[in-house]
Amino acid sequence: MVDNSCFAVTSHLLVLFLAVVLPVWDVFETRRLKARRDDAGAKVRSYAKTMAVLWLAALCAWAISGARIFQTPSLRAALPFLTRGAGPQIAAGLVLGAAIGLLVLPLAASRSAALRAKLARPYARLDFFLPTRPAEFLLFPMVCVTAGVCEEVLFRAFLLSYFSQSGFRFGAWAAIAAASVVFGIAHFYQGFAGVILTAALGFGLAMLYLWTGGLAAPMVLHALIDLRAWLVLWLNRGAAAVHPAGAGPVTPL
């Protein structure tokens, strides 16, 4: 993190935005969407706002830190087991395997209405935000890609750099844990269970980032997790809504 005091203050403000303002905004946005379920344009407007906020925040992170945002040599040095041997290649293989696993079942479900309904059930609790109309299905993949790119820049690259190089000077594990907690809190609209699971996923994505030495793998995996929701719901479009009772939390979105 740059030493300039103005940039330091700006970085603190961005962390405050990610940890406090963004979750609070999500709460109010969730209430608005739930109150406007019959408004055909409500979700589209929400998608547009979400993408604008994420891209602006990611650009701010880049402006604050520049290329240094992606430099975490101190963290990688503290976790040498991540860089031994063919670690990055193995991590890339795991991402490829996860990508196949995420998409194969939904595609296989295209021939089974019962399986499609089963796969869609966990997403029922987020029907106020997830796509149900043609225009929403068209725009939502852009939201997924935006989340995959921008949230990895913010919650992995920027926050890991912040917690390890700012005044906190956290060690590797503490920085990863702190960034993961903020990532979980940012998904407060999914409920407490969603926060916990998202934080755990954030921990895994942080390890993947450090393991591969870049954001490409976590960006792809993150985007694919969200795109899986879009694919499942698109395949199940036109079916009767699944009652959310018993539906588990969905992450990350």
pLDDT-derived band of residue 1, with 50, 70 and 90 as boundaries? very low
d(CA 133, CA 226): 17
What pLDDT digit, counting tens, does each position of 122-166 carry?
888 888 999 999 999 999 999 999 999 999 999 999 999 899 877
More confident residue, 26 or 250: 26
What pLDDT digit, counting tens, does each position of 195-244 carry?
999 999 999 999 888 888 888 889 999 999 999 899 888 888 766 444 44
Residue 249's φ and ψ, nearest 5 degrees, are -70, 150
The model carries a pTM of 0.86
How confident is the model at residue 247, as a pLDDT?
45
Confidence check: pLDDT of 87 > 90: no
How confident is the model at residue 156, as a pLDDT?
95
More confident residue, 244 or 178: 178
Nearest in space to 122 (alpha carbons), one of 231, 221, 252, 245: 245
Confidence check: pLDDT of 73 > 70: no
Confidence check: pLDDT of 114 > 90: no
What pLDDT digit, counting tens, does each position of 33-71 carry?
999 988 989 999 999 999 999 999 999 998 888 777 777
Nearest in space to 58 (alpha carbons), one of 102, 18, 103, 86: 18
Nearest in space to 232 (alpha carbons), one of 128, 124, 94, 97: 124
How confident is the model at residue 137, as a pLDDT?
95
Domain boundaries, the chain: 5-235
Confidence check: pLDDT of 248 > 80: no
How confident is the model at residue 203, as a pLDDT?
94
Q: Which residues of 77-110 are buried (b: 16+ CB within 10 A; e: fewer)?
A: eeeeebeeeebeeebbeebeebbeeeeeebeebe
Residue identified by tokens 């190089």 is 165
More confident residue, 91 or 106: 106
- Can you spell out the DSSP letters for 193-216? HHHHHHHHHHHHHHHHHHHHTSSH
How confident is the model at residue 236, as a pLDDT?
82
More confident residue, 177 or 168: 177
How confident is the model at residue 93, as a pLDDT?
74
